[in-house]
Each structure stands twice: as structure tokens, then as C-alpha cells.
Chain A
Amino acid sequence: MASVTGVSVADELPGPDGRGPLSGDNAGTGRLGDKAFAAAAKGSGALVIGLVTLVGVFLLWQAIPAIADDKVNFLTSREWSVSDSDNLRFGIVELLWTTVAASTIAMLIAVPVGVAVALFITQYSPRWLSRPAASIIDLLAAVPSIVYGLWGLKTFTPWFDPFQIWLSDHLGWIPLFSRTGTSGTILLIGVVLSIMILPIVTALSREVFAQTPVTHMEGALALGATKWEMIRTAVLPFGRPGVISAAMLALGRALGETIAVTIIVSTLPQGSKWTWSLLNGGETFASRIANNAGEFDSPAKTGAFIAAGLVLFVLTFIVNAIARIVIERRKAFTE
């Protein structure tokens, strides 16, 4: 997982061995408190790594036999029939498409809006407003996902439907917006997800923007930068790693969000025609697993769903790795 802010401490120069001055064992005094804290810190670190490894091992261990028994290609098939243990036929391509498409829509909305809100709170709003505004955004994170699900289904869907119809009427010639007649669409869950991840993007971006050194901001202003130019020259570049981390954390939530998606999205009947339309229903990895949680009665069948979970795990992992690489590549320029 990427560090939450991704900001490195500027004043801590590395020693001759390239490590920070107070890292490693040289700073320990050998007293009891020192030793106990070192052990607790190391233990917690090991625990997290151990847990992630165990989750990975569990997923692989359960999924591999099922994938081996799969009669169709696991990665490219659209079929999903697992009731007959001797004739397992399941593939994830449709789940992958729905999950990635909905999460991408959510990111396209939530990241710009979240960054804009964070900039408003840290740079533009009067002081008396910034605290309440930040708290209200944080409150969005405290709303349980089941509530988003119910709200999305009962309130938002009827309100959003005319827009979807308008979209397919006017832009239907683009495959992404062709008409399918469903209302619990990928686009709709993308929008609901964006509201759910907005507070994550906002809260973390706000933290890093607020840490922008005053000297950098004054440096820009003294060159004759307007407020927006100052933000572009000093605040945004400084906050960039933090915003990327925030976006990845948010993406992780969007990819894995289960109950709201399960409630809202219209599942497609088996064998329905493939379409690229975002105005189509579908199932994400998480909602497929949740929808079928009652049927985990044989190891083979369960294995099929766990294989789907494994793909989700790997997907999240890849996303985080990419974010890490993007941040590391510019590291020389962040200190």
C-alpha cells in the first residue's frame, strides 16, 4: 500500500549509508522501553505483511483447483455456470469489464472534484468555513454503504434515468452509450461510487495541500503569480504524490465496493449479448460473489467465486504498484 501522504521529510538528510539519521538500530539505547517499542513496531509490521501473504495464499490455494477444473478459459469466457461440479464453466471477462468501467467512471468524477474541494478548503475558503466544510465532507465517509445503496436505488435511479435516456438518444451512436433499456447501469454505479470515494480523495489531498511550505507559495507569488498560478506552481506539484496515493486508496475502495453495487446494479440474464455500453447492467467481482453467497455449498463451486476474488486482489495490487512507481520516478524532485 502506498504511504498515505507520500510526502518525504525535507530536512532529514541521509547518512553515508543512505539511511535517514534516526532509522535503523543505531538509534536504540538498549533500555527496556526502547526494546519493547522496537519489538512492538517490528511485530506490527510483520503482522501486516503476514496477513496480506496469508490472504494471497488462501486465495491461490482455494482458487487454483477450481481454475484447473474450468472447462472454458477463465480469463476470456463470459460464461458463469458452476452448479454442476463436473462441468465447471466460468470466466471473468464480463466482471472485469464492469468493475473496471464503473471504477474508472468513479475516479474520473471523484478525483477532479475531490482535488478541487481540497483546494477550496485549504486555499480559497475563509477560515471560519474551512473547518465545517471539511467535517461535512468527512461525514460522507461515515455514511454506511448500505445507505448509499438504498439511496442509489430508490432516490437516485429514478432521477438519473431521464439523463441516461437523453444520453442514449443523443450519443447512442457511440458504442459506450448505446441503449439497452436497463436502469441499474454501470454509469449509475460509477456515479454513486464517485460520491462514496469523494471523501477519501478530499481528506488526503487536503492534508498534503495544507502542508505546502509557505516559502514555496511566497516564492511563486513574489514572481507575480496569480492565486491559481501559485496553486499550479507550488501547491499542486507539492501535493502530487499525496493526491496519487489518495486516488489509489479511493480506487481500491471503488473496485471492492460490494453492497451498494449489489443493490443498485441490474444483473444481466445468462447468455445476453455482449455490449460495450456503459448504459448496460452487469456485475462486478464483488457483487457477483455477494449475489451468490448463499450457494457456496461445494468446494469446486466456492473455488470459482474465490478465483474471482483472487483477480480482484491482483487488480488492486497492480493498481497500487503502478501508483508507487509513478511516485518513485519523480522522487528526486520531491525533496
Chain B
Amino acid sequence: MAKRIDVSDLNVYYGAFKAVEGVTMTVEPRSVTAFIGPSGCGKSTFLRTLNRMHEVIPGGRVEGKVMLDDQDLYASNVDPVAVRRTVGMVFQRPNPFPTMSIYDNVAAGLRLNGVKGKKKLDEVVEKSLNGANLWNEVKDRLSKPGAGLSGGQQQRLCIARAIAVEPQVLLMDEPCSALDPISTLAIEDLISELKSKYTIVIVTHNMQQAARVSDQTAFFNLAATGKPGKLVEVDHTQKIFNNPGVKATEDYISGRFG
């Protein structure tokens, strides 16, 4: 189910502006990779190229290669819609569909895939909500609006929505930055559980979070304002946090950053 991601020499552009330059890295299946780095260094932009969500912004394009096992995501015959069904995404701010109930939010992706039978939907909705550690909290009010839940519950609802379509990879763009510490802990526990089934890539500004949840950490940085973001270093999380290979990484992690 989970797949390996191989990125080689990837440049990302918005129109004429080069946002990210020369990223090469590998993400192992059934592992958690964290992207850290200062704001504007291109880590979210790079994350979005892994399911072609950057193309939603006018002028967004890439050079280079992203392989999902042996499938090139940017091959000319690949439909971005199909990519996004394989590589799911959770956003910074919880974004359940406000006009839909909890149930319909989780079922939304399945319905887009043409799944109709109520029995099948019921089954997947329960399984996904269970997978997101939310089932017990919402099982009695599945028909209530998803927007009525607390922030942390909403984010877990979004995770349930993303895993309902059984993606190979789950991308998370600062999934806890809008949440309180308790909800954050719940999401982090969930990430550790999901790791057994999915390949997970998470962007975070929280260094402790990266250290807690990830197996591998990638540090991104800007050479200077207006220059493209670059991958400085990627290694085992232990190594990055205890004995980084580059001085800039150490400075950033220890808070001595300019």
C-alpha cells in the first residue's frame, strides 16, 4: 500500500520565479519524514509538488523528476487528479466542507470515486474515523455538521477524509499549527499509528514535533531573500538533531538562527 518517493533535481517555479531549487531526496515507505526550515524557504511549496497541488496556483510548474515507486508523477500521460487520489493531503487549517455532515465529509472522496452503496460507505466511514481516532467522539452525531467540531476534531476529521480513499502517501502541511497542545498530541499519536500503513511527509515549524514523530528530517533554507529555497540536509532524525552535518542546520535547530 505505502510507496516510496524518489525526487531528483527538482526545481519549482511560480511563473518566472524560481521558488525551490535542486531538491533530491528519497522517502521510504511506511516512514515519517519531517520538513523543517524558516518561513518562506519553500518546504510547503515542495510538499505540494508531491501531489501536484502547486499546479492549482496559476503559473506553478516543476522541472525534474518525482517518482512514486516506478511511476513518474510528471509523465505526460499522468492526470494530476489521479495523482491526488494516490497522494492525500491534510492542510494547515482544518478545512472540513462546511455544508456537509461529519459522515458526508468522510464519504466525500469515496463519492468522487463513484462509490455508491450505503453499506460500503458506512463501512469505510467507520473504518476511517476509527483510523483517525475520532469514531468514539462522533459516532452518535454523524449527521451533524463537520464544522461544529472542535479544531482538533476537525483536523482529525480531515485526516479521516484523506485516508478514506486509501492513498499511498499522506502529506501534512503544518497540521497542528492551528491546534492546542492536547489536540496536537492526539494528532502526533495518530501520525505514529498511521505510519504502519502510509508513507507520511509532514511540514512543521515545531522542532520538538519533528523530533518526536519523524524517522527522517529534511532541513530547507533560503540562500538569501528573493533566492530560491534549497534542501540543505536530509538524514535520520536522530542524526539531524544530535549531530547535523551542516552548520546552518545546527544553528537553526538550536535557535541560533539569524
Contact = CB atoms under 8 A, between A and B. Distances in A.
Determine the main DSSP class of A at the interface with B. Answer: helix
A237 to B, nearest CB: 4
Interface in A283-297: none
A220 B165 CA distance: 12
Interface stretch (A224-232, A243-251, A274-282, A309-317): A224-232
Contacts of B97: 216, 219-220, 233-234, 237
A142 interface: no
Contact of A216 (B81, B84, B98): B98
B95 A240 contact: no
Contacts, number: 82
A223 B95 CA distance: 12
B93 interface: yes
B108 A233 contact: yes
A143 interface: no
A218 B53 contact: yes
A333 B145 contact: yes
Given A223-B84, A224-B112, A335-B147, A215 B91 contact: yes
B145 A225 contact: no
Nearest to A332: B145
Interface in A321-335: 330, 332-335
Counting chain A CB atoms within 10 Å of each CB, the highest count among B51, B82, B97, B162 belongs to B97
B181 interface: no
Contacts of A177: none
Given A229-B112, A233-B108, A233-B112, A222 B88 contact: yes
B112 A225 contact: yes
Given A215-B91, A225-B81, A333 B109 contact: no
Interface residues of B, number: 33
Contact of B95 (A216, A226, A229, A335): A216
A222 B98 contact: no
Interface in B80-131: 81-86, 88-89, 91, 93, 95-101, 108-109, 112-113
A127 to B, nearest CB: 8
B98 A238 contact: yes
A237 B91 contact: no
A116 to B, nearest CB: 20
A222 B51 contact: yes
B56 to A, nearest CB: 6
Contacts of A333: 98-101, 145, 147
A240 B99 CA distance: 10
A113 B147 CA distance: 31
B86 to A, nearest CB: 8
Contacts of B86: 224
Given A218-B56, A332-B145, A333-B145, A223 B109 contact: yes
B158 interface: yes
Interface string B131-145: 000000000000011
B148 interface: yes
A2 interface: no
A330 B99 contact: yes
B230 interface: no
B161 interface: yes
Of A10, A219, A221, A334, chain B has the most CB atoms within 10 Å of the CB of A219
A126 B148 CA distance: 36
A213 B91 CA distance: 13
A217 to B, nearest CB: 8
Interface in A98-149: 127
B100 A223 contact: no
Nearest to A241: B99
Contact of B98 (A221, A224, A226, A335): A335
B108 A223 contact: yes
Contacts of B100: 237, 333
B84 A218 contact: no
A106 to B, nearest CB: 28
A226 B147 contact: no
A215 B98 CA distance: 11
- Between B51, B82, B98, B100, the greatest number of chain A beta carbons within 10 A of the residue's beta carbon is seen for B98
A216 B146 CA distance: 13
B145 A222 contact: no
A2 B126 CA distance: 39
B17 to A, nearest CB: 17
A222 B84 contact: yes
Nearest to A217: B56
Contacts of A220: 97, 108
A52 B145 CA distance: 37
Contact of A10 (B98, B113, B144): B98
A335 B146 CA distance: 10
Contact of B99 (A221, A222, A223, A334): A334
15 contacts: A127-B58, A216-B98, A217-B56, A218-B53, A219-B96, A223-B84, A224-B81, A224-B86, A224-B113, A224-B165, A233-B97, A233-B108, A238-B98, A333-B100, A334-B99
4 smallest CB-CB distances across A and B, nearest first, come from A224-B85, A237-B99, A222-B89, A215-B95
Given A219-B95, A224-B113, A226-B81, 14 more contacts: A215-B93, A216-B98, A218-B95, A219-B158, A220-B108, A222-B51, A222-B53, A224-B109, A225-B112, A330-B99, A333-B99, A333-B100, A333-B101, A335-B147
Interface of A: 10, 127, 213, 215-226, 229, 233-234, 237-238, 240, 330, 332-335
